[in-house]
Amino acid sequence: MEPTEGALRILLIDDNRDHTTILQWAFRKTGRQDEFTCFDDGSRALEYLRTLEREQKAKPDLIFLDLNLPRLDGRELLRLLKEEQTTKAIPVFIVSSSEREEDVRKAYELGASNYISKSAILNDVDPLLKTIQAYRSKGT
């Protein structure tokens, strides 16, 4: 597949590997060539981001973060990402199977850029892509 214009480096943090697989497929089947880096636990993801910073490597354009994660919970990770100068600029989209209002509210409070229901993405990824597009054009 040809890399499409606007391909993104996406950091995907979800302990459900089925979900990471399906999510990546959902993106891919639209013809996009985004680069996914996946972690199934929050602390490793954080470690990875810090390594990138130390080695002066390019950071991801976007982070997809699940809320329920082992070791370092998604909410805690979100708080840390938004606290660190080096990562706070990276948009974090919460991707969760929970549609609980308090989860959504909490995520936005902690600095999430968006909150996406997993089942919604599975049905139709287009709205998410549009959101990302909108976000990027606004950010740049």
Partner 1 sequence: MRAASAAYRRRSRVREDEQQKAKNHLKGVKKRKEIEHSVDVFESAFEKSFIPLLITDRFGRCLEANESAARLLNRRRAVLVRKTLDAIFTLHGATTVGGFQARLSQEEPLDAEVAFEQKKGTTVRVRLRSNNLDSGLRLISLARMHEHGSKEEQLVKAQSTAALLDEFFSLPWGDEATDYHSLFQHSPYGICILQNDRLAVVNPTFCRLLGYRSGEDVAGKEIREFLDQGSRMFFSLLQHRVFRGEAIPMRFEIRMIRHGGSTIDVETSFALIWYRGAPALNLTVSDITDRKELEKRLTDSESLLRNVINSMVDALVITDLQGKVLDVNDEFQRFTGFTRREAFAAEIPYPWVPEESLRSFMSWLEKLREHNVLRDFDITWLRKSGERVSVSLNTTLLRNAAGDPVLMVNIARDISERQASREELSRQLQRLQVLYDLSSALTETLNTDDIARTTYQQVEKVIPVDGFVIDLYDEEKNEIRRAFAIDLVNGIRSEIDAPHGPISLDKSVSTAGVISTRKPLLQLKSSSDQHVPLHPVSKESKKASLMMVPMVSKQKTIGVLSVHSYESEMYSQEHLTLLQSIAHLAGIAIEKAQLYQETIRKSIEIEARNKELDDFTYVVSHDLKEPLISVEGYAKMIRHEYQQLFDAGGREYLQAVVDSCSHMKRLIDDLLLLSRISKLTEKRSEINLVGLISDVLEELRFSIRERKAEVIVQEQLPEIVAVDTHLRIVFRNLIANALKFCDKVIPRIEIGSRVTPDSTTLFVRDNGIGIEPAHYDKIFLIFQRLHRKDEYEGVGAGLTIVKKIVESHGGQIWIESTVGQGATFFFTIPTG
* Site residues (vs partner 1, CB under 8 A): 16, 18-19, 21-23, 25-26, 29, 97-102, 118-119, 122
Q: How far is the CB of 37 from partner 1 (least distance, A)?
A: 20
When the beta carbons of 26 and 63 are compared against partner 1, the nearer one is: 26
When the beta carbons of 88 and 100 are compared against partner 1, the nearer one is: 100
When the beta carbons of 49 and 116 are compared against partner 1, the nearer one is: 116
Q: How far is the CB of 23 from partner 1 (least distance, A)?
A: 8
Coil, helix or strand for 55? coil
Query: E strands, 97-133, where?
Result: 114-117
DSSP 40: S
Residue 112 structure tokens:
């999430």
Integer Cα distance of 126 and 24 in angstroms? 13
Give 67's contacts (C-beta < 8 A, 6+ positions apart). 73, 74, 75, 94, 96, 98, 103, 107
Q: How far is the CB of 94 from partner 1 (least distance, A)?
A: 15
DSSP 41: S
When the beta carbons of 29 and 54 are compared against partner 1, the nearer one is: 29
Q: How far is the CB of 77 from partner 1 (least distance, A)?
A: 19
